[in-house]
Structure 1
Amino acid sequence: MKAAIAGGTGFIGKALTNELVKNGYDVYILTRNIDNKKETDSIHYVQWLAAGAAPEKQLQGVSVFINLTGESLNSGRWTDERKKRILDSRISSTREIIRIMNALPDKSSALINASAIGIYPNSDTDTFTEKSRAVGNDFLTHTVNAWEKEAVQADKAGIRTVLARFGIILGKEDGALPRMAMPYRLFAGGKIGSGRQWMSWIHVKDAARALRFAAENGMLEGPLNVTAPNPVRMNDFGKTLAKVLGRPHWLFVPAPALKAGLGEMSTLILDGQRVLPETLLQSGFQFEFPLVRGALDDLYNGRGIIKRD
């Protein structure tokens, strides 16, 4: 089976590539720069979004496209210029993938397009599933809405389309977790803001497995919450992280201080949603790391799965 990944050299892209190759896929990674990329029998690099690039010529027989591209949300303050880049990078890449899929002589079976649980409103009390119709009214919601509207153009062309709404992906070397762990490593970790904000998370291995599950399950389409089944309050997450790292959980960081330092981007830390992966669970997906203690212990101590918090 052939799969094409846009964003295959990024954090989740690398984990997904490993997951697919391990399960017998030939993976074609779409990248702007193919120089110094080492190919294998199963991993191939295809240039796109560059002058003269015609990636469709190298993607014959690809059955599923997985789009993970987009400028990082947490790499700097959300100035007006950065907001534009965050949105435009997602829209342009999704539009190009659909163009490529439509240009292929044999129509691909599926598009799995990255999205985010930021489409749901921030709430300390409500729970959201794929059936929830409530949406937020901030920059994240606007971005996700526009992104998903672009992706469903593939569905209108008869291509099964999955909108993979990611929570916070936990990985030891990349993503949000290293930044969250740093204060604890410096003995300065503790409650952030109210501490009651929900954190809907998923281990990077389960995120990659969920994407492969979506690629292979022809009944899945539309929104798909890619989160673990047991979200936690931010303060509880911090306490668990402190235990795993063998550090104290004691320093309080007030919300105004974060807002002053990060600006609007502070919403990624101070706000949250309790999101459940109802569709994955009902479809029979089995999480390797359903609880946050097991996920963190696997990442930092290699102790495997722990079935309790």
Structure 2
Amino acid sequence: MKLLITGGTGLIGTELVKRLRERYSITVLSRKPKRAIEHFGKGVHALASLDEVQNIGDFYGVINLQGEGIADKRWSERQKLRIQQSRWGITRQLTELIQQSDTPPQVFISGSAIGYYGDQGSQTMTEDEVVERPEDFAQQLCAEWERLALAAQSEKTRVCIVRTGVVLASEGSALQKMLPPYLLGLGGPLGSGKQYFSWIHLQDMARLLEFLLEQDSCHGIYNATAPEPVPQAEFSETIAKVLRKSHFMRVPAWTLKLLLGEMSQMLLTGQRVVPARLQQAGFEFNYPSPAVALRDCLLPPSSRPQSS
């Protein structure tokens, strides 16, 4: 069976292609298709544009992971527009192709983020929670992103939306950006440290996408987060313990606001998100707790916990 994956050369996409390439014929969408083919090797196809897709119905499934890195640059108005367009544009195009097809893909999985929930304090957020829509950039970004994808839902195509937390990996993830202070023995909580931190291990992220792809009964919204969100101070302390470093240098909220501007709200508020619908569907996490996930990401292979 054929799959089309947008954002296939990113952190999540690369791990997903590694998992699926033996059982599916995979085409990735990339601005640099030659580089993508070199990245994956033989057996993976690459397109530079959706205009090259002659019939979206040739694909059993479409997985939409494309988007400008939300934390790559300070949120200027220009950068916020770039972040929006990189997600909304491709999602709108895919939905229109699916709607126009007489034989559309059987499943369309599209990304979103837990920023959809906004600042909810310590309230536990499941997929059933209804939230108000204040003038919050991340929340508005996700709400429109999801609306565009859900429009592809039909009797022929089931749609799954994945609201992703912070992805942890041994290389190339947000975790590596957090590490320098800890490695110097200067790690500590961000702001009050009471805000919740919802995260997921990269391998579980790829596994749950595979799960949603292959479970015909799955459709709608899914929280792509581990089942144990923790206060940021606890997560920070766990990093320090795994690395056997001290943990005492709290980063004041005003410092983050000065350095990051509006983006700092993602770090200072946070969400307490749990994957209720995934667990109800029978998905089991290999890395359910921060300690297990961080040991796998930060320690040498010989010291890591074993996973299936």
Same fold? TM cut 0.5: yes
Match of 1:287 in 2: 285
Task: Give the C-alpha shift of residue 3 in structure 1.
Answer: 1.3
Distance 1:40 1:254, change over 3 A: closer
Task: Give the C-alpha shift of residue 42 in structure 1.
Answer: 3.3
Distance 1:141 1:160, change over 3 A: same
Alignment check: 8 A CA contact 2:4 2:63 kept: yes
Alignment check: 8 A CA contact 1:94 1:150 kept: yes
Query: For structure 1, which segment, 132-141 or 69-78, has the greater mean C-alpha deviation from structure 2 after superposition?
Result: 132-141
CA distance in 2, matches of 1:177, 1:56: 39
CA distance in 2, matches of 1:241, 1:91: 35
CA distance in 2, matches of 1:136, 1:272: 16
Please, which of 247, 250, 258 is the counterpart of residue 256 of structure 2? 258
CA displacement 1:51-93 (0-9 Å, x = unmatched): xx42235x66311100001111101111111111111111111
Q: Look up the SS of the partner of 1:56 in the other structure.
A: coil
1:107 to 2:104 alignment: yes
1:45 to 2:36 alignment: no
Match of 1:20 in 2: 20
Task: Give the C-alpha shift of residue 156 in structure 1.
Answer: 4.8
Structure 2 length-normalised TM: 0.92
Task: Give the C-alpha shift of residue 29 in structure 1.
Answer: 0.5
State how 1:1-309 maps to structure 2 within 5 Å: 1-22=1-22, 24-36=23-35, 37-38=37-38, 40-48=41-49, 53-56=51-54, 61-102=58-99, 106-137=103-134, 138-156=136-154, 158-301=156-299, 302=301, 303-305=303-305
CA distance in 1, matches of 2:120, 2:72: 24
- Structure 2: give runs of 5+ residues left out of the alignment: none
CA distance in 2, matches of 1:112, 1:217: 12
**2:151 is aligned with what amino acid?**
Q
CA distance in 1, matches of 2:168, 2:227: 14
CA distance in 2, matches of 1:101, 1:46: 18
Distance 1:76 1:157, change over 3 A: farther
CA distance in 2, matches of 1:82, 1:32: 19
Q: Look up the SS of the partner of 1:45 in the other structure.
A: strand
CA distance in 2, matches of 1:306, 1:136: 42
Q: Look up the SS of the partner of 1:32 in the other structure.
A: coil
CA distance in 1, matches of 2:131, 2:202: 27
Query: For structure 1, which segment, 276-285 or 245-254, has the greater mean C-alpha deviation from structure 2 after superposition?
Result: 245-254
Q: Look up the SS of the partner of 2:222 in the other structure.
A: strand
Task: Give the C-alpha shift of residue 21 in structure 1.
Answer: 1.9
Structure 1 length-normalised TM: 0.92
Q: Look up the SS of the partner of 1:155 in the other structure.
A: coil
Task: Give the C-alpha shift of residue 305 in structure 1.
Answer: 3.4
CA distance in 2, matches of 1:142, 1:99: 21
Alignment check: 8 A CA contact 2:57 2:98 kept: no
**1:61 is aligned with what amino acid?**
D
Alignment check: 8 A CA contact 2:107 2:157 kept: yes
Task: Give the C-alpha shift of residue 119 in structure 1.
Answer: 0.9
- Structure 1: give runs of 5+ residues left out of the alignment: none
Task: Give the C-alpha shift of residue 100 in structure 1.
Answer: 3.5
Alignment check: 8 A CA contact 1:21 1:27 kept: yes
CA distance in 2, matches of 1:293, 1:180: 16
**2:288 is aligned with what amino acid?**
P
Task: Give the C-alpha shift of residue 35 in structure 1.
Answer: 2.5
CA distance in 2, matches of 1:147, 1:65: 16
Give the count of matched residue pairs. 302
**1:252 is aligned with what amino acid?**
R
Task: Give the C-alpha shift of residue 158 in structure 1.
Answer: 4.3
Q: Percent identity?
A: 37
